Structure 1
């Protein structure tokens, strides 16, 4: 019997099935700026209506949160996570997401699973007025085991050059506002899985995996609603490294984000992780978002307006003079 690509472990027909299952849904994310359809070698997106546009790009994956999704066969939220981790990053500069591309790798392709993951991306793109214009599915036997999947994405956004948010306008006396996270988002899951090995155990009346797999919150609608009404001088997406690593990225030299940690609303699942794992509070804040999804810096005069616009946001500190860039009172 002659060898074929299928006998080596790659089933092209399953790939075609995946495309068939997602093609119409992906097309629903397209707008007049998308100039070609799924299947071309490259994706085309026309830019119009900007005076001095700057493209802002970001790429990321879902990390070992995927392991929980695969073990529990819950695939619908992973695509949302992948999109959110990319789009939330470029949002920190005031960018509007234009288009998104995904990369899905696996040991043996199952079109049902692949389609469910991509349809999560479609949902997230729709919620953010963003076009899913391309992607790649790679079946890689020998590199991945059957049942293994890895997901990554790439998002490109746009902002007028004179409207870029980069922290340079932050001044002493500015206030620090928090938008809560939806949970762990997509960071720190290697430690989460170590402390919570049984994803099926009951936590607050439901299987623990339901809490762990809550998708990363999408902040585009909230942030751009604020930007229409009030200025933001700095925005930090709190991902791996927590507040300690992400807030200093927007703080100018000579200034310090002074944050009262007692005001932070820590999710109960993170409190349980800390207790069960005997994890030091400083380690928790250096690994997880601790309930903080986005940090916003604005002038004191605009705080009330922003809190009116974002019903779950709250103030946790202010910008002071100092060389530390962040001071977190734990």
Structure 2
């Protein structure tokens, strides 16, 4: 190294950026990332660009690429508070890849981005290992990523994560509202907990009650922060099995990922204009974490239906003659599933219904009745 290079390197270190720590982080995560690579991935880890062989798309009649990008939101604040970083990566994959399955696409590859105040190699490796583990579970190649050190902008222990993924689907297999028919059954797939939405409200409730993430609570079943970090359930692999099962061909007409916006709004997005559904609350009992937080807030479960998933992570709108088989197939993969309502196109007063969301002129949805105890 020349004297000028040494001077430049020292100046960068003095500015708070440690390139050697970044290199070590890559080494620590390398094996986990490599396990997501099949023969379609070229170049391995560390290239300027990830390479993925898409020659298989030549066998498609009319291939469509599907893409999604997202982050984990303020859930990362809890991971940072209790210094536990091995599950937040699964949350990221759930938020990104499970949006791709919604259109019926098979995920192909994903990239991630981590911004932090200081690169702590072990911490970065734990985050990326969690991403890689979830990518492996969903059949998604993790082909690249970036860790950026932002001293002075973020604190030494602060970070944020984001990612993007790409999948492919045959045009005539595309799922969506246009496939939904009168009489279709709406099937709910259970969430594992809060997933990655509504954590600003969670943090507000805990702060108002003087509860720290590091506190231990019998109600939460242990440390509060660890209970809240329950990772997002992944739906891609079980749903792909259903979509690729010849006996269930055409069974699923549309899917909805219950994320920001809550239950009714997300379901309304995948229903056709003019249709409506009443979701029966009595068909399920929200997980204890939702009840605990609602009690602490002094509010009802119903008041958080537009923020939290309340126990439903995904909806499938299914042909009525195949609904029972779809429920059984999903349950066989360890995900509780059940019917919550039926699509109707009959004329009725839609006052009190959520109608469309996020710029989509969709169907109308409202929740009725009381939750099961």
What is the 5 A alignment of 1:126-137?
Answer: 126-137=136-147
Aligned ranges for residues 241-256 of structure 1 at < 5 Å? 241-256=261-276
Output aligned runs, 1:196-211, within 5 Å: 196=206, 197-199=211-213, 200-202=215-217, 203-211=219-227
- Name the residue aligned to 1:326: 365
The structure 2 residue matched to 1:70, chosen from 52, 68, 80, is 80
**Alpha-carbon distance, 1:265 to partner:** 2.6
Q: Which moved more, 1:207-216 or 1:246-255?
A: 207-216
TM-score if structure 2 supplies the norm length? Answer: 0.85
2:104 corresponding residue in structure 1: 94
Q: Counterpart of 2:359?
A: none
Match of residue 124, structure 2, among 108, 114, 117: 114
Partner secondary structure for residue 55 of structure 2: coil
The answer on 1:13 being equivalent to 2:17 is: no
List 4+ stretches of structure 1 deviating above 3 A: none
Alpha-carbon distance in structure 2 between the residues aligned to 1:86 and 1:9: 31
Q: Distance in 1 between matches of 2:113 and 2:128?
A: 10
Q: Contact 1:236–1:296 at 8 Å: present in 2 too?
A: yes
Instruction: Give the TM-score of the pair, scaled to structure 1.
Output: 0.96
- Does the aligned pair in 1 maintain the 2:63–2:170 contact within 8 Å? yes
| Cross-structure match for 2:153 | 143
CA distance in 1, matches of 2:108, 2:90: 16
- Which of these residues, 269, 288, 294, is aligned with residue 274 of structure 1? 294
Unpaired segments ≥5 residues, structure 2:
1-5, 356-363
Structure 2: how far apart are the matches of 1:97 and 1:78?
A: 20
Instruction: Judge which range, 302-311 or 96-105, deviates more.
Output: 302-311
Q: Which residue of 2 aligns with 1:313?
A: 337
Unaligned runs of 5+ in 1: none
**Structure (1 or 2) with the larger CA radius of gyration:** 2
- Contact kept, 8 Å, 2:139 with 2:237, in 1: the verdict is no
How many pairs does the alignment contain?
330
Contact 1:264–1:292, Cα closer than 8 Å, also in 2: no
- RMSD across aligned C-alpha pairs, in angstroms? 1.5
Residue 88 (structure 2) pairs with residue 81 (structure 1): no
**Shift of residue 283 of structure 1?**
2.6
Q: Distance in 1 between matches of 2:270 and 2:222?
A: 38
1:45-94 Cα distance to aligned partner (Å, 9 max, x none)? 11133312111011111111101111001110001111110011111011
The secondary structure found in structure 2 opposite 1:233 is strand
